[in-house]
Structure 1
Amino acid sequence: MLVMCLLCPDTAVHAAKPEDTISSPSVQETSSIERAEKEKRQEKQILTLGQLIKKYPDTFKIHGPHVKQIALTFDDVPDPRFTPQVLKILSEQGVKATFFVVGSRAKKHPDLVARIVREGHVIGNHSYNHPQFHKLTMVEYTDQIIKTEKILYGITGYKPKLIRPPYGDITENQLRWAKREGYKIVNWNVDSLDWKGISKEAVKRNIMTTAGQGSIILQHAGGGSTSDLSGTIGALPEVIRELKKKGYTFVTLPRMLKVQKDK
């Protein structure tokens, strides 16, 4: 998560020495220097994710309205080890979810992306190769989104409106670009922590102790070569059944947020 950077303190005022007054800058030069210094200070001022959410509430979402709806979301798909197992459970439970797709993986397993959409789920853009966005230039960042978008359009016939930054990480300039281009950034407010390879019981506990009205739950249906998502596979049916008993309905993110799935 990004942190607020402190602005550098102003240079201390000191008494003028004779040599200081030999070559005084003109008013125009002073104005240019002040503008340059202001731009440097603005570049150093980084907003936290919480501040970005407050500043861009229509573009950056972490939860839905406070009604008895819950959105299940699954990152890092497609993955032939785990994605089919998650899809099978969702089908058995009659639940639709939202899957955030990594472009490089979609390129390798287009059939799985097509299956996700065919079975009534929604897909979102999760970058091309899962970098930390704040480490990228704007050109690199936009390339991550657009490259993945083209791959997904070729497979599914639509360009996802929803973007989930890897690690939930995004800068203000990147967010502003997404807003201008008509995207929505969607993170989460319930984290299963399943990527840690934790047990079924731990995954379930992490979800059930924090899920509530309008919750967006983060889980994974794909991962690296050493990933162990058996905790998610084991917990998912019980989580769905217990939340249904509590009166919750499961919806896709576009339905929860009342937006289109495509741009």
Structure 2
Amino acid sequence: MTPADDGPNPEYTPKLLDGLEKRGVKATFFLLGEEVKQYPDVVRRMHDDGHLIGVHSYKHVNFKEVGTACTLQQIEKTQKAIYDVTGEYAGYIRPPYGCWQKELDAQVNLIEVLWNVDPRDWATTDADTVVQRVLKDTKPGDIILLHDASASSVQAAFTVIDTLQKQGYSFVTVEELLLE
């Protein structure tokens, strides 16, 4: 499974969507609300292509640093942005940096989704390094964290998908994985 964080990106997300379509893969995208507002056509395509869309935050803030009121505002603004484009509210959230406050569980009607494999693709432009990190650590049922903000991350995603599919892996959205 390959969720994508921090998008949509106007240059790289469409390329990722093209490659996912070619490979018959549905992914989960955790989106920034401000990017949804800026690039609604990319989000609409993501939705129309059958990918799962979740909340990341409105601006990439650490929820543990900004407090409950700001966190709730970040989530609500992102939910509204996603709804305005897709006509659907997200059911899942991946908090930036993986930082969540347990007391929010009672206030936020979203399922928190983190990851098992983080190749730190945002920290390198070397797709081969990202691929090696993913392949070294991935096992069945894992959630792989990737981003859709660079050519190297998109290329790494395609190589990971191609390689793992040849090994018998299937790629599903987090909803399909969690509800199995």
Match for residue 171 of structure 2? 250
Cα distance in structure 2, aligned partners of 1:235 and 1:112 = 21
Whether 2:156 is the aligned partner of 1:235: answer yes
| Counterparts of residues 1-263 of structure 1 (less than 5 Å) | 71-178=1-108, 182-222=109-149, 229-258=150-179
Q: Which runs of 5 or more structure 1 residues have no equivalent in the other structure? A: 1-70, 223-228
Contact 1:89–1:236 (8 Å) recurs in 2: no
- Cα offset, 1:258, TM superposition: 1.1
Equivalents in 2 of 1:172, 1:136: separation in Å? 15
1:103 alignment partner AA? G
Seq. identity, %: 38
TM-score normalised per structure 1: 0.66
Aligned-partner Cα distance in 2 for 1:79–1:166: 17
The number of residue pairs the alignment matches comes to: 180
Counterparts of 1:221 and 1:92, CA distance in 2: 17
Mapped contact 1:197–1:230 kept (Cα < 8 A): no
CA distance in 1, matches of 2:86, 2:156: 29
The separation in 1 between residues aligned to 2:155 and 2:75, in whole angstroms, is 32
- Give the superposition deviation at 1:125: 0.3
Q: Is the 8 A contact 1:199 1:230 kept in 2?
A: no
Distance across 2 between alignment mates of 1:174 and 1:201: 38
Q: Which is richer in helix?
A: 2
Answer yes or no: is the 8 Å Cα contact 2:5–2:145 preserved in 1. yes
Superposition TM-score, scaled by structure 2 size: 0.95
Once the two structures are superposed, residues 121-168 of structure 1 have per-residue CA deviations (whole angstroms, 9 ceiling, x without a partner) of 010001100101001221111111111101111110111010010111
> Gapped runs of 5+ residues in structure 2?
none
Larger radius of gyration: 1
Aligned amino acid, residue 254 of structure 1: E
What is the identity, as a one-letter code, of the residue corresponding to 2:139?
G
Structure 1 vs Structure 2 CA RMSD? 1.3
CA-CA distance at 1:92 after TM superposition: 1.1
